[in-house]
């Protein structure tokens, strides 16, 4: 008698464990974008469910930079199998694009099928979201599954420039078959698309540009010319591209630069705009800050720029000394 009871006990324990795993997820009747659960709703004790989850991608094993975690999603009970629909979050995708972003985090969208006892039958990563990835989901015309339009930016450096990035679009259908296998089918051949992000950006007139600065009306020049025009001042540089070239700095990607408007001086022939350029993520070297003068002709066309003072994270200069050096540099310039 005991010879029969032991296997049954093992089967029951295994089934309870799988049901406990299912209890982490919401029971649903279909697969859609909501089925994958909410972002950052992590399963706390994921190790206890290791028998029911696919192993970590080989690319991430042993990495000291990447953390990841499974998130709660949903499940569907079908006649011959059970499907679990959930997300796996990564703090840093090891996809070759991490060099473009300080945080190359993202999420994989995963469908896993099991037998009623919890044996894994099939597993598919159907989509990915992140800095270089976006997707759209819809239901297939026939069967239980999901249609995924996956868009991937071809060159992630474009996301750091004032350009319209090019993406490759993949459209695939994932349908769950009666045996629990997930059938993958290409619905539309991969193709390119240009994301029009720049046409919607309002370009400033010269008067609008000037309005971001405060007029300097003192009879002298000193470091306070580089006082920000307001507490939260930041020049919307993409709106100034019709006025200022975005090639003023080759060591930092254009979108990684903060332009802080300060004061301006208007003379008979020239406009002088005093700007702080903050570069927190340079291509090479350490973060730095420049004090610049942008010069414009009276008709509002760009003339040139002058770097008055450069300071980086390796500079060993106190604030008082920096103010003195900035004032000295300004007094050596003929503003007339």
Let me know if residue 324 belongs to a domain.
yes
Please indicate, yes or no, whether the overall pTM of this predicted structure exceeds 0.75.
Answer: yes
Q: Is it the case that residue 12 has pLDDT exceeding 50?
A: no
Q: Which residue has the higher pLDDT, 300 or 13?
A: 300
For residues 95 and 143, state if they share a domain.
Answer: yes
* Residue 16: pLDDT band with limits 50, 70, 90: very low
Q: Running DSSP on this structure, what letter comes out for residue 32?
A: S
Q: The domain containing residue 242 runs over which residues?
A: 206-331
CA nearest 145: which of 108, 189, 184?
184
CA nearest 151: which of 185, 90, 87, 194?
194
Let me know if residue 105 belongs to a domain.
yes
Q: Which spans in 163-215 are helix H?
A: 206-210
Query: What is the reported pLDDT for 247?
Result: 74
Q: Is it the case that residue 9 has pLDDT exceeding 70?
A: no
277-290, pLDDT tens digit by residue? 999 989 889 999 99
Q: Given 150, 174, 194, which residue is the final one in a domain?
A: 194
Let me know if residue 200 belongs to a domain.
no
Q: Given 145, 168, 194, which residue is the final one in a domain?
A: 194
117-141, pLDDT tens digit by residue? 999 999 999 999 999 999 999 999 9
203: helix, strand or coil:
coil
Per cent of the chain over pLDDT 90 is: 74
Q: CA-to-CA distance for 28 and 42, rounded, in angstroms? A: 19
Taking residue 32's Cβ as centre, other Cβ atoms within 10 Å add up to 13
CA nearest 240: which of 207, 288, 194?
207
Spatial strand order of the sheet with 68-77 comes to: 26-27, 68-77, 82-90, 106-114, 120-130, 133-138, 145-153, 166-176, 182-194
186-219, pLDDT tens digit by residue? 999 999 999 999 999 999 999 999 999 999 999 9
For residues 50 and 159, state if they share a domain.
Answer: yes
For residues 95 and 55, state if they share a domain.
Answer: yes
Let me know if residue 317 belongs to a domain.
yes
For residues 141 and 236, state if they share a domain.
Answer: no
76-123, pLDDT tens digit by residue? 999 999 999 999 998 888 888 888 887 889 999 999 999 999 999 999
For residues 245 and 120, state if they share a domain.
Answer: no
Q: What is the mean pLDDT of the chain?
A: 90
For residues 235 and 190, state if they share a domain.
Answer: no
The CA distances from residue 204 to 171, 258, 290, in Å, are 39, 17, 23
For residues 29 and 167, state if they share a domain.
Answer: yes
The CA distances from residue 80 to 112, 117, 178, 184, in Å, are 14, 11, 7, 19
For residues 183 and 44, state if they share a domain.
Answer: yes
Let me know if residue 199 belongs to a domain.
no
98: helix, strand or coil:
helix
Let me know if residue 131 belongs to a domain.
yes
For residues 93 and 238, state if they share a domain.
Answer: no
For residues 138 and 234, state if they share a domain.
Answer: no
For residues 57 and 89, state if they share a domain.
Answer: yes
For residues 45 and 147, state if they share a domain.
Answer: yes
Let me know if residue 190 belongs to a domain.
yes
Lowest mean pLDDT among 56-65, 179-188, 248-257: 56-65
Q: Domain total for the chain?
A: 2
Q: Given 194, 219, 250, which residue is the final one in a domain?
A: 194
Q: Which spans in 135-272 are helix H?
A: 206-210
Let me know if residue 118 belongs to a domain.
yes
């Amino acid at each position: 008698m005991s010879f029969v009871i032991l296997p049954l006990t093992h089967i029951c324990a295994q089934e309870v464990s799988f049901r406990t795993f299912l209890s982490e997820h919401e029971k649903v009747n279909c697969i859609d974008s909501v089925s994958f659960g909410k972002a950052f709703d992590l399963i706390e004790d994921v190790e206890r469910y290791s028998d029911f989850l696919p192993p970590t991608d080989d690319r991430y094993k042993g990495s000291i930079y990447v953390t990841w975690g499974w998130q709660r999603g949903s499940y569907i009970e079908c006649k011959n199998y059970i499907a679990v629909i959930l997300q796996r979050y990564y703090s840093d995708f090891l996809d070759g694009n991490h060099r473009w972003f300080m945080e190359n985090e993202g999420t994989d969208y995963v469908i896993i099928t099991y037998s009623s006892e919890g044996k894994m039958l099939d597993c598919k990563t159907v989509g990915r979201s992140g800095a270089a990835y976006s997707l759209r989901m819809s239901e297939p015309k026939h069967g239980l599954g999901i249609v995924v339009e996956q868009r991937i930016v071809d060159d992630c450096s474009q996301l750091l420039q004032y350009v319209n990035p090019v993406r490759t679009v993949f459209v695939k259908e994932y349908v769950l078959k009666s045996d629990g296998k997930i059938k993958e089918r290409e619905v539309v051949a991969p193709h390119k698309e240009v994301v029009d992000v720049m046409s919607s950006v309002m370009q400033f007139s010269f008067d609008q540009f000037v309005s971001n600065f405060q007029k300097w009306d003192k009879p002298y020049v000193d470091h306070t010319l580089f006082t920000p025009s307001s507490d939260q001042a930041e020049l919307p540089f993409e709106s100034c591209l019709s006025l200022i070239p975005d090639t003023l700095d080759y060591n930092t990607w254009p979108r990684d630069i903060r332009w802080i408007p300060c004061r301006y001086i208007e003379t008979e022939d020239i406009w002088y705009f005093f700007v702080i350029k903050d570069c927190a993520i340079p291509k090479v070297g350490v973060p730095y800050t420049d004090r610049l003068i942008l010069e414009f002709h009276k008709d509002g066309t760009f003339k040139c720029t002058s770097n008055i003072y450069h300071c980086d994270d390796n500079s060993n200069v106190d604030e008082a000394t920096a103010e003195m050096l900035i004032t000295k540099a300004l007094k050596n310039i003929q503003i007339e």
